[in-house]
Structure 1
């Protein structure tokens, strides 16, 4: 189902949900040709090979109501014919309209508008793992009555709100700060059910951040992280974002040896601290 929802503003039609463009650039260190094959559930973009430094671009119209638009890609190159998979666009994770990616042997990285660099990186998956939002016909094959109802609800929310519709989820940013008393490096590994953000080392007192867009209809978005440091290699777990618990759009966390504390820096309050989960 394609959407082209328009809103009238002073007699002018404005497209609320514009097309998304995904750009994938070959940045293999070996400078080999990169062969890729991207798909959605109902859209096979076929196989392409791009030379080093060149890019492949595709565009589509996302689903603005159910947040189920997802494209995944496989990658291979002459010196490694194993297929490497990644969800190149997940509507519940990505807020971009122009989504830029670079691909290297170690994994793909997407552009971070806050830092101006490609520093949001993901680990390869050995098999394709489409989002659970695409599983089952009860969502992707929604009947036309439900689609019309959702469209009507969205248009009403936009037209009556005088601005941004409350039904459209805001982008959430999670910032994890190394505040270990020992000043050691902090190694974190964050995941959701659909996304593995890979392992990252945060030097004291720096931070690691990631972004996503939460589920619009059901408060089910959850990311959890494990933490360890050189003097304690035991994995310490915490739910770093739970949509049913957290209402922040920028969620700050201080990580200490004994616990993890979240703060609201916009309106300073007493921090809320959580003990480590055992697993």
Structure 2
């Protein structure tokens, strides 16, 4: 009976931390996006399968950020739409397969030709 209790407690702590309430076993991932579009405000709307973060209007040279706990299976995905002037673009701003081992503080510059991830493995990407 005690062994079952310990196993249940372990799974509660492990999987309960993903959905809130229990302290996580690893640090939050923070995604920061800076508007470098070049003048007009940028509307950013990010979602995952579980969360809709809503639209955020970001003035030129300002930033928007959010944080989350990536899952153990490296399947966490946050996709965003970017709208300015008469442009509408999409990009997977956090793809665990691409980003989880690269950054837990993921800084992006959002430019007209696509987003650029900063840091030790800096790279620019085309829009989706």
- Which of the five TM-score ranges fits, normalised by the shorter chain? 0.7 to 0.9
Equivalent residue, structure 2, for 1:64 = 13
Equivalent residue, structure 1, for 2:49 = 193
Please give the root-mean-square deviation of Cα atoms over the aligned residues, in Å.
2.4
Equivalent residue, structure 2, for 1:92 = 18
Q: Structure 1: how far apart are the matches of 2:75 and 2:127?
A: 21
Equivalent residue, structure 2, for 1:106 = none
Equivalent residue, structure 1, for 2:63 = 207
In the superposition, the TM-score normalised over structure 1's length comes to: 0.39
Equivalent residue, structure 2, for 1:256 = 111
Q: Structure 2: how far apart are the matches of 1:173 and 1:275?
A: 22
**1:252 Cα deviation after fit:** 0.3
**1:64 Cα deviation after fit:** 2.4
Q: Structure 2: how far apart are the matches of 1:245 and 1:179?
A: 23
Q: 2:75 aligns with which of 206, 220, 229?
A: 220
Instruction: Please list, as runs of the form range in 1=range in 2, the aligned pairs for 1:1-279 lying within 5 A after superposition.
Output: 3=9, 63-65=12-14, 67=15, 69=16, 91-92=17-18, 94=20, 168-180=25-37, 182-216=38-72, 218-230=73-85, 232-233=86-87, 235-246=88-99, 247=101, 248-264=103-119, 267=120, 271-277=122-128
SS class of match (1:245): helix
Matched pairs, number = 120
* 1:263–1:176 CA distance, 2 compared to 1 (3 A): same
SS class of match (2:56): strand
Question: What runs of 5+ residues in structure 1 fail to find an aligned partner?
Answer: 6-61, 70-90, 98-167
> Greater helix percent: which structure?
2
Quick one: higher RCO (CA 8 Å, sep 6+), 1 or 2? Answer: 2
Detail structure 1 runs of 4+ shifted over 6 Å in the superposition.
none
Question: What runs of 5+ residues in structure 2 fail to find an aligned partner?
Answer: none
